[in-house]
Structure 1
């Protein structure tokens, strides 16, 4: 389900957004900066400071995770069932392994949100659909560079 293209898109994304719902239906969306695609069925997200997300997952394990490459303005939405694997759980090291290097000593990982994907959909900026003849990834990158007021570094710089 989480194909190589989806895995590469996740690697290029700086943040993912975890959407949960509490026991009375109140939604919550929270940015997560330490996450990875573990295998073709699972995303893992570090719980560094996410008590609301974890509490909501206990009440309702259905979640949605979105990640987007801000330069090309494409990404994916992954829907699935989540569970919280605590640091003291026997399988914590297995789930946490791709996250520990990202976190380093600066961010303590209290637990790992393990999302088993049940559906995946692409996310693309509206320009790709509304103006397909004029919209390319290169044009989207140029637009984003202008919007953010940045320039790409020269190779080797």
Structure 2
């Protein structure tokens, strides 16, 4: 398994929303948004709150890819690996289920928890990072996209 760095954890926490790709039985892709991606002890997990197709796909083929991008930093990561489906009663399941309910409320169902054993991690960078000439700082990029989306950082 590949190490999840502090920067990767920060991007996951800041971005909140990630996208999980699995493979349908007919070989076509299935893409599902997740707001429960988290890192515990250097391992990626997400909760099955409303993901019956994702879970079904993973029972047939554990291959998974997760993309997470902070829209203001215009960067993120692509995590590839193999998924394991954890059921209620498993210690890791309980850790993630308790976190989801503490974060969102006790009414949130957590049918399963998915653990991802990462096999590759690659950075995702937008053209704002790659093609800007002269290169722009992370702060310049962030401020540009705050303005573009008409938002202000929390605390300002």
* Contiguous gaps of at least 5 residues in structure 1: none
* Aligned length in residues: 154
1:2 aligned counterpart, secondary structure: coil
Correspondence list, 1:2-151, <5 A: 2-40=4-42, 42-89=43-90, 92-151=93-152
Deviation, structure 1 residue 108:
1.4
TM-score by length of 1: 0.87
Q: How big is the alpha-carbon RMSD for the aligned residues of Structure 1 and Structure 2? A: 1.9
* Contiguous gaps of at least 5 residues in structure 2: none
Deviation, structure 1 residue 59:
1.1
Deviation, structure 1 residue 135:
2.4
Structure 1 distance, partners of 2:130, 2:55, is 36
Greater CA drift, 86-95 or 74-83 = 86-95
Moved over 4 A (4+): 88-91
2:76 aligned counterpart, secondary structure: strand
Question: Cα distance 1:94–1:106, how it changes in 2: closer, same or farther (>3 A)?
Answer: closer
The question of whether the paired residues in 2 share the 8 Å contact of 1:44 and 1:114 is answered with: yes
Q: Deviations over 1:47-74 (max 9, x none)?
A: 0000110011111101001111111111
Structure 2 distance, partners of 1:79, 1:47, is 18
Structure 2 distance, partners of 1:91, 1:23, is 28
Deviation, structure 1 residue 97:
4.6
